[in-house]
Amino acid sequence: MATYDFVFDGLGLREWCGGDDAGGGLMSMDALLSETSGEATEVSAWDTPFPSLDALNEACPAMPQSRDLTSGLENGFLAIKDGLQVVVDPLTQPLSWALTNALWLMQAVPWWLMIPILMIVSFAVGRSLKLAGLVGLSFAFLAFIDYYDYTMQTLAIIFVCAFICVLFGVPIGIAMARNDKVQRGMIPVLDMLQTLPPFVYLIPLIFLFSVTEPKLYGIAIILYAIVPVVRLTDLGIRMVDKEVIEAADAFGMTERQKLFGVQIPLALPNIMAGVNQTIMMSLAMVVIASLVSAPGLGVLVLRGIRSLELGVGLVSGFGIVLLAIILDRVTKAALARINASQH
């Protein structure tokens, strides 16, 4: 006798379940032993299972089981997969082209030209010789241990994905700040993107795209990393003083002039903080995306785990930390310059 037989008997659903002898599909080992020994086992109140799908299915085979729910979701996704591909493939193809070209460019430029270029860019952003020296020494060290190509691959992916995050994230944040309905609609989406485990992003994308397509890991990185720049753009614009907005209204500024002349410049420190966090999250996701053929230092980390190569895993992990420090210092230097110019 199943634990929840009384529920279906009390509701008069025994016939719907399959009759009196439909006591529940596959028998458990305890039920089988009790039946062969002729003893009825009673479940104490302490051990009563929660009325889950599987527990109710034991009492009524007409009830679906948990595996029916998961398989139903899978079959439903596979049923719409072809239609989704027709729509999503053309929209995401530019991402594949951008990633492919960025990977080619970062590796085609020789080291003796690429490292000085990166140093010049970091100096232009931060106006600091120490920062430029840190960038040069870090990349020289990674090249010295033969990790230069892997580092350039990781950097190329971060450049492309972070740029797309900013390109779409800042306008979304502006729309949220200017319209409360848009904000209320976007907050649940952002919460979901922020709380989903990174590996979950890869599951539906593996079914949609080939593992050899760069957009597979590119979309996962963008979805994972876009949240900070959206949230902080929204927050920065909403934090602009009302008195400043009133002064802009008094000068007869249009909404467009107020946005580009007042709100965005004053919100720029928050926006840059969001860009900093987006870059850091992109770097974190690049390592996980190596599971689906993303090139870069994450491949070496994965190799260290799979082959139990401790040295490879530790050195590549240190390379990722070094790259994170460089990106963090450069973006924070840019943020410091913006704050100084505003003060």
d(CA 203, CA 289): 11
> What pLDDT does residue 28 have?
53
> What pLDDT does residue 174 have?
94
- Please count the helices (runs of H) and the strands (runs of E) in the chain: 17, 0
In the listed set 38, 64, 90, which residue is the last one of a domain according to the structure?
Answer: 64
Within 8 A by CB and 6+ apart from 299, the residues are 150, 290
pTM: 0.84
Q: Find the mean pLDDT for residues 173-194.
A: 93
From the list 226, 210, 334, 213, the residue with the least C-alpha distance to 285 is: 226
As a whole-number percent, the residues of the chain with pLDDT over 70 amount to: 92
289 shares a domain with 172: yes
> What pLDDT does residue 336 have?
84
- Top mean pLDDT of 30-34, 260-264, 275-279 is at 275-279
96 shares a domain with 52: no
d(CA 281, CA 102): 19
Cα dihedral 77, 78, 82, 88, rounded to 10, equals 40
252 shares a domain with 311: yes
133 shares a domain with 40: no
**Dihedral sign from CA coordinates of 198, 200, 201, 203:** positive
Asked, for residue 91, whether it belongs to a domain, the answer is: yes
Amino acid at 199: F
114 shares a domain with 43: no
DSSP-assigned states of every residue in 152-188: HHHHHHHHHHHHHHHHHHHHHHHHHHH-HHHHHHHHH
> What pLDDT does residue 237 have?
93
Structural domain containing residue 56: 5-64
Q: Which three-class secondary structure state does DSSP give residue 147?
A: coil
CA distances from 208 to 5, 86, 214, 217 (A): 43, 10, 13, 12
224 shares a domain with 126: yes
Amino acid at 98: A
116 shares a domain with 43: no
276 shares a domain with 306: yes
Asked, for residue 76, whether it belongs to a domain, the answer is: no
Token couple for 233 = 């753009």
Asked, for residue 230, whether it belongs to a domain, the answer is: yes
> What pLDDT does residue 19 have?
58
142 shares a domain with 204: yes
Q: Report how many domains make up the chain.
A: 2
Cα dihedral 82, 87, 90, 95, rounded to 10, equals -100
146: left (phi over 0), alpha (psi -120 to 50) or beta: left
Q: How confident is the model at residue 21 (pLDDT cuts 50, 70, 90)?
A: very low
d(CA 20, CA 101): 68
Q: Are 297 and 287 in contact (CB under 8 A)?
A: yes
Neighbours of 6 (CB within 10 A): 11
271 shares a domain with 200: yes
d(CA 61, CA 79): 26
When the pLDDT of each residue in the chain is averaged and rounded to a whole number, the result is 87
57 shares a domain with 87: no
> What pLDDT does residue 25 have?
46
Q: Find the mean pLDDT for residues 147-162.
A: 95
Amino acid at 286: V
> What pLDDT does residue 22 have?
42
More confident residue, 63 or 169: 169
